[in-house]
Structure 1
Amino acid sequence: MDMGLDGRTVIVTGASGGLGRAIARGFGDEGANVVLTYHRAEQDAERVAKEIGGRALVVRHDLADPPSTAAVVRATLDWTGRIDVLVNNAVVWGSTDPDQERTFDQVPDEEWPAMLRANIEGALRLSRAVTPVMRERRWGRLVHISSSIATDGMPGGEYYGAAKAALHGFSRSAAFSLGRAGDILSNVVQPGLTRTDTNAAITDAAGEQYSSQAALGRLLDADEVAGPVVYLASAANTGITGQVIMVSGGT
């Protein structure tokens, strides 16, 4: 199938590893020009760019820093003069201290609002920034990467789940606005627990329990999630918009 992505420009946030790496490589395989954003792992992002080849640009992006959003858009337009696809994949996880076993009501006020704001506002801010370019060309694709935590829940995932659920509401309403401005589509991909190159500890610990609930009886790997993301963001997708697509192996 011709995805119609050859020569188009795609921004993938959080592309230095994990699911973002697989998504970026998927677009590269389709001949797209791929902008890979990273927060701290510049060397990892550069390695992904080398895997893609000469059609990759590495740009730093901080979800919590509005000026960095403008810098990503400016660098992309300076590079190719167009923005066709945005994949909102980057996240801020919040505290990762394993010794801090806190319930959501015990998380200090200086932590949880910042995590919510970075994840929600960061994705929405970049979506707002690229939309005028898509409206002008009357073509574009937004794909927001969510999580099964948004609908299934998980102890300790209250604020992360809330942030991801917010993307569902935004994408659904944005689809109506964008669809009236041309061939511009907005969707959410909601993965379950997925094997990536960065989460072996998590999948080793929880993989068996999770896969026992899946129709396929196993975890998906990152490439299996990246495929649907690339399709939804492609010219081959002409009618799917405003949807939340579960890609979880049937959980």
Structure 2
Amino acid sequence: MDLGLQGRTVLVTGASGGMGREIATVFGAEGADVVVGYRSRPEDAAETAARVGKAGGRALTAGYGLGDPGTARSLVRAALDWTGRIDVLVNNAFRPFGFRPPGDRFEDVGDDWQGKLRDNVEGVVELTRLVAPAMRERGWGRIVHLSSSMVTEGVLETDAGPIGSEYYAAAKAALHGFSRSTAFSLGRDGDILTNVVVPGLTRTFRNEERMANSFGVAERYAARAPLGRLPDATEVARVVVFLASAANTAVTGQSVTVGAGA
């Protein structure tokens, strides 16, 4: 199937590793021009760019930090200066929370939980606002927001899980409402589609060590899934890329779960 991404300009945030690296690489395999957004690891972003090139696409690296409107504007400007267009935005970046030991309570979480909550919502909204005019002008665009199964499932075990998962889930839940509403306002100006991809706990090259120290959470999620395993980042990336492609002509305003059936 021709996904119609050859020569289209794609912005992927948080693309220096993990899920974002796989998403960028799959876009590269479709011949896209990929802007690799990264926060603090230019060497890792360069590795992603090399993978995109090896897959068959072109890549440009550009700094971007959630909660920093200045970097959002510079990311958009870099894309427009490079190719003169923005066809796809993948909002993959997030401010993370680590794992907490059993027994901790969400109300005891400190260390800027309010800032993380705001950045995970407002950063995505701001960048989407900035790319919307370019998409409206061309009458074509695709936006995909990465969410989390925590929004609908919560944490599998009540006594262990990511630090601040309650706040992280709240931030991701906001993206579902935002995407659903913007599907209507963007859709009236052309073939502009917006969706949310909802991964379950997913294996990436970066989180294997974290999973090994997650108090058995990864194993319990895998055991619960109909496929008996966790998905890997490439499997999630393929769904993202389809939704962001010209082959997707009718899916918009939806939330698509990718969790090996869990």
TM range (shorter): over 0.9
Deviations 1:14-59 (A, max 9, x none): 0011000000000000000000111111111101101112610000
- State how 1:173-192 maps to structure 2 within 5 Å: 173-192=181-200
1:111 has 2:119 as partner:
no
1:170 and 1:217 map into 2 onto residues whose CA distance is 33
Q: 2:92 aligns with which of 65, 89, 113?
A: 89
> Which stretch shifts more, 148-157 or 38-47?
148-157
The question of whether the paired residues in 2 share the 8 Å contact of 1:142 and 1:186 is answered with yes
> Which stretch shifts more, 197-206 or 173-182?
197-206
1:114 and 1:174 map into 2 onto residues whose CA distance is 24
Partner residue in 2 for 1:230: 241
The question of whether the paired residues in 2 share the 8 Å contact of 1:195 and 1:219 is answered with yes
- State how 1:77-226 maps to structure 2 within 5 Å: 77-94=80-97, 96=98, 102-108=104-110, 111-154=112-155, 155=161, 156-204=164-212, 205-226=216-237
Opposite residue 45 of structure 1, the aligned amino acid is A
1:221 and 1:100 map into 2 onto residues whose CA distance is 26
> Which stretch shifts more, 7-16 or 146-155?
146-155
The secondary structure found in structure 2 opposite 1:220 is coil
Cα offset for 1:145? 0.3
2:256 and 2:99 map into 1 onto residues whose CA distance is 31
The secondary structure found in structure 1 opposite 2:194 is strand
Deviations 1:63-105 (A, max 9, x none): 11111110000010000000000000000014x4868974221
The question of whether the paired residues in 2 share the 8 Å contact of 1:22 and 1:223 is answered with yes
How well do the aligned residues superpose, as a CA RMSD in angstroms?
1.6
1:67 has 2:73 as partner:
no
Q: Normalization by structure 1: what TM-score? A: 0.95
Number of aligned residues = 249
Partner residue in 1 for 2:47: 47
- The 4+ residue runs of structure 1 with deviation greater than 4 A are 97-102
1:65 and 1:222 map into 2 onto residues whose CA distance is 27
Deviations 1:167-212 (A, max 9, x none): 0010000001111110000000000011101000233343221111
> Which stretch shifts more, 155-164 or 55-64?
155-164
The secondary structure found in structure 1 opposite 2:61 is strand
Identity across the alignment (%): 57
Give the direction of change, closer, same or farther, for the CA distance of 1:211–1:188 in structure 2 (3 Å limit): same
The secondary structure found in structure 2 opposite 1:194 is coil
Q: Normalization by structure 2: what TM-score? A: 0.91
1:240 has 2:246 as partner:
no
